[in-house]
Structure 1
Amino acid sequence: MNLSARDEQLRELMDDPDCDPQRLHATLRRFGIVNRLVAGWGRVYRTRLRDVLSRLDRPARVLDLGSGGGDVIAHLAGLAARDGLRAHFTGADPDPRAHQMATSRQIPGATFRCADAEELLRRGDSFDVVISNHVIHHLGAAELQTFIAASRRLATTTVLHGDIARGRLAYGLFAVGITPLAPGTFLRTDGLRSIRRSHQRAELAAALGTPWSVTQPTPFRLLAQGPGLG
């Protein structure tokens, strides 16, 4: 497998509007387990997000762009509640299938909208913090610039985009490690395609430019952080 460059031509199976709905449902449900194991949002919360939320003198407003089935919001909302932090989480995803899954979760302190970043901007919405998980690798060069610009305009303090760091070890470990969770889902095929579509740290830093910083908070993960403009 050649992982020396991004393969932007790959398309994930679950992005097909005509994909098997049962497999899609199972995939979205199991993202909760997968993301807790590999996405690193617990560490990002402890090292980046908790301090931002605690400094506000009112309930924080956090937006998750491309929120899928809502598992990242469920995780972060639980961590904030455990720490006694007041926060309201909004998930936005333009895919009605993901939106339906998210709204069925009934997460305390969270709401979900079937919308993308541009629609939220048109409505005049604003949030203290904007995050995303596994969105950036889906985007081509022009789409990426549009997305990160919109995310900064929606945020008043900071933006945090989490994604995969492309590499052979990540590919090999995921291919083996996902096996127990993969039956009946798109997890294995789409996960491996995601790795092949993803950036390496220097690539993403170059693509984003100033004022973004790109770090690796946990193994095989990238975190792009930039200031809000809202």
Structure 2
Amino acid sequence: MLASLRRRAVDAVEIMDGPDCDPERLDRTYADFHVVNLAVSGWRSMYCRSIRPGLSTTRPSTLLDVGSGGGDVSRCLARWAARDGLRLEVTAIDPDVRAHTWASAQPPVPGLSFRRALSSELVAEGARFDFVVSNHVLHHLSAAELQGLLADSRALARRGVLHADIARGRLAYLGFSLGTWPFFRRSYIRADGLTSIRRSFTAAELRRVAPAGWTVRRAHPYRLELRWRAPRAAATATETAVGTAPDA
């Protein structure tokens, strides 16, 4: 299995992406995402470093979360901003009716709305947001879908884009396998998480497919951040908004 990590397992399919997966286990997976993402995704750090400095206590900002799944990252971002006394309206979109139904059924969070949609639909509507983000979406996409998402993201973002994902690696695979082995028995977290790692990019691979103007930052543990910043004339004056973190 580890030998397969030398190349992306682009043909591997996550169980939860199948139309006939068990609905109870799928719902449990959406619920468990909150625990996993808090432990490994690093969104608290990304919010503090790349989103919060660009927010205001008086001027409203908008953020789009693409492929939001169960909506746990969206809820965290809305709650963190509110806790900091900052004005942020978060829109979370996902084309999967199952994800949208589950996320919409959770207790409401002020400043957060869910919508079943593709990013391309919002582009066609002429929608714009200050920030566009995603979590663990890139590795799901085909080459054409990835380029489409990046083009959509640039069209939708006034200020910057931050797509966060897993970095493929042996230690990441072994660590996740061992760390989740005693847990998540009633969900697809462990099986699909391992598949996600196999499908994910390395930093070098992501740099090769990223269009001009995008930067790839490696974060720990085993994280990738794909960023784009709007031209200075269209961006806010702050130098710490989304997309300004240096490569690593």
TM-score by length of 2: 0.89
**Number of matched residues?**
229
Task: State the alpha-carbon separation in 2 of the partners of residues 57 and 124 from structure 1.
Answer: 25
What are the superposed Cα offsets for residues 112-154 of structure 1, whole Å, 9 maximum, x if unpaired? 0000101111222111000000100011211111111101101
Moved over 4 A (4+): none
Task: State the alpha-carbon separation in 1 of the partners of residues 219 and 58 from structure 2.
Answer: 28
Quick one: which amino acid aligns to residue 8 of structure 1?
Answer: V
Quick one: which amino acid aligns to residue 156 of structure 1?
Answer: R
Quick one: which amino acid aligns to residue 49 of structure 2?
Answer: T
**How far apart are 1:57 and its partner, in Å?**
5.5
In the other structure, the counterpart of 1:148 is 150
SS in 2 for 1:63: strand
* Aligned 1:128-143 pairs, distance under 5 A: 128-143=130-145
In the other structure, the counterpart of 1:187 is 189
In the other structure, the counterpart of 1:212 is 214
Quick one: which amino acid aligns to residue 177 of structure 1?
Answer: G
In the other structure, the counterpart of 1:26 is 28
**How far apart are 1:217 and its partner, in Å?**
2.8
**How far apart are 1:181 and its partner, in Å?**
3.1
**Aligned partner (choices 173, 176, 179) of residue 177 of structure 1:** 179
In the other structure, the counterpart of 1:46 is 48
TM-score by length of 1: 0.96
Task: State the alpha-carbon separation in 1 of the partners of residues 186 and 51 from structure 2.
Answer: 34
Q: Note the aligned Cα RMSD (angstroms).
A: 1.4
Task: State the alpha-carbon separation in 2 of the partners of residues 153 and 52 from structure 1.
Answer: 19
Q: Identity of counterpart residues, as a percentage?
A: 48
Task: State the alpha-carbon separation in 2 of the partners of residues 153 and 76 from structure 1.
Answer: 22
SS in 2 for 1:33: helix
* Aligned 1:80-99 pairs, distance under 5 A: 80-99=81-100
Task: State the alpha-carbon separation in 2 of the partners of residues 148 and 138 from structure 1.
Answer: 14
**How far apart are 1:228 and its partner, in Å?**
4.3
Task: State the alpha-carbon separation in 2 of the partners of residues 107 and 173 from structure 1.
Answer: 33
**How far apart are 1:19 and its partner, in Å?**
0.8
Task: State the alpha-carbon separation in 1 of the partners of residues 160 and 132 from structure 2.
Answer: 7
**How far apart are 1:39 and its partner, in Å?**
0.5
**Any gaps of 5 or more consecutive residues in structure 2?**
235-248
SS in 2 for 1:214: strand
What are the superposed Cα offsets for residues 131-183 of structure 1, whole Å, 9 maximum, x if unpaired? 00010001121111111110110110000000000000000000011124321
SS in 1 for 2:12: coil
In the other structure, the counterpart of 2:117 is 115
What are the superposed Cα offsets for residues 173-194 of structure 1, whole Å, 9 maximum, x if unpaired? 0001112432111111100000
**How far apart are 1:209 and its partner, in Å?**
3.2
